[in-house]
Amino acid sequence: MKGTNLGELEELILLATASLYDNAYGIAIQKEIKAKCNRSISISTVHAVLARLEQKGFMDSRYDGMTPERGGRRKHLFRVTKSGQKALLQVREQRETFWQGIPSIAFEK
């Protein structure tokens, strides 16, 4: 099933969104990823991925939280949906299966 396959960036952003919970919007997600993984992703890329994830149904979004730092604009807040959660779990399980199957001798010292 093609739709449920998550890209690496998609996965990161889904995770960041989930961890930010009620404050997941573009800049916050970008910063979260920078803080946790030390990866710089351009803001436009973040938005593009967010839009794609929303299209796939892994996220939904709403507008809320007007602040002066944003020149009076509301934040575009994202939240992971049930199917998004499922997709994340699926990825995690797949990886777990792999990890459990790897003999310890497989990695050279």
Partner 1 sequence: MKKELQPPKWIYNILERFCDPYLWEGISGDLFESFLENVETKGVMRARLIYIFQSLGFLRTKFKRKEKRLTNMKSIWLNYFRTSIRSIKKQKVLFGINLIGLIMAISCSLFALVYIDDELKFDTQQSDVDRTYRLYKRYINIPENVDHLTYETSGMMGPTMKDEYPEVDDFMRVCPWWDKVIISYKETNLNTENFYFVDSTFFEFFDYELIQGDPSTVLTVPSSIALSESFARKLFGDEDPIGKTVVGLNEIDHTVTGIFKDPPRHSSLQFNALVSWSTSVPGLGPLRFRWMNNWLAQGIFTFVKLENNADPLALTEKLPEMMQNHFEERADQYFLKLMPLKDMYLHGDNIRANRGMKSGSITFVYMLGFSAFLIFLIASVNYINIALSRATQTRTEVGIRKVMGSSRKQLMGRFISETFLSTTIASILSLILVIWFLPTANMLSGKELPLMAFLQPLTLLTLVGFIFGVSLFVGTYPALVLSSPPISTILKSSNGVVGSTGWFRKMLLTLQYAISIFLIICTIVVIRQTDFMESKPLGFDKEQVLILDVGNEVRPKVNVLENELLSHPNILSVSTTRSTIGTGSYSTTVIPEGNNDEINTRIFGVDQEFFETYGVNIVAGRSFIKNSIADSSNLMVNQAMVAFMGWEDPVGKHIRFSAEGNDLPIIGVVNDFHIHSLASDQIEPMILYLDVVNQSYTSVRIGNGDLKETMNHVQNTWDQLAGRTPFNAFFANDWFNEQYEKERKLLKISSIYSFISILLCGLGLFGLTALLLQQRNKEISIRKVLGASVTSIISMMNKQFLIIILVSFLIAAPLSYFLISDWLEQFAYQITVGGVPFFLAGGLTLLISVLIVSWLSIRSASVNPSENLSTE
- Of the candidates 7, 27, 36, 95, which one interacts with partner 1 according to CB under 8 A? 27
16 interacts with partner 1 by CB under 8 A: no
CB-facing half-sphere around the CA of 47: CA atoms within 13 A: 6
In eight-state DSSP terms, residue 58 is S
Q: Which is nearer to partner 1, 27 or 37 (CB)?
A: 27
Q: Bridge-partner residues for 20, per DSSP?
A: none
Closest CA to 24 of 61, 67, 54: 61
| Cβ-proximal residues to 49 (8 Å cutoff; 6+ apart), any chain | 9, 10, 13
Q: Report helix, strand or coil for 95.
A: helix
User: Which one of 8-16, 24-32, 82-90, 98-106 is the stretch in contact with partner 1 (CB under 8 A)?
Assistant: 24-32
Tell me how far, at minimum, the Cβ of 46 lies from partner 1, in Å.
8
User: Which one of 12-20, 40-48, 84-92, 95-103 is the stretch in contact with partner 1 (CB under 8 A)?
Assistant: 40-48
Tell me how far, at minimum, the Cβ of 23 lies from partner 1, in Å.
13
- Of the candidates 6, 10, 25, 32, which one interacts with partner 1 according to CB under 8 A? 25
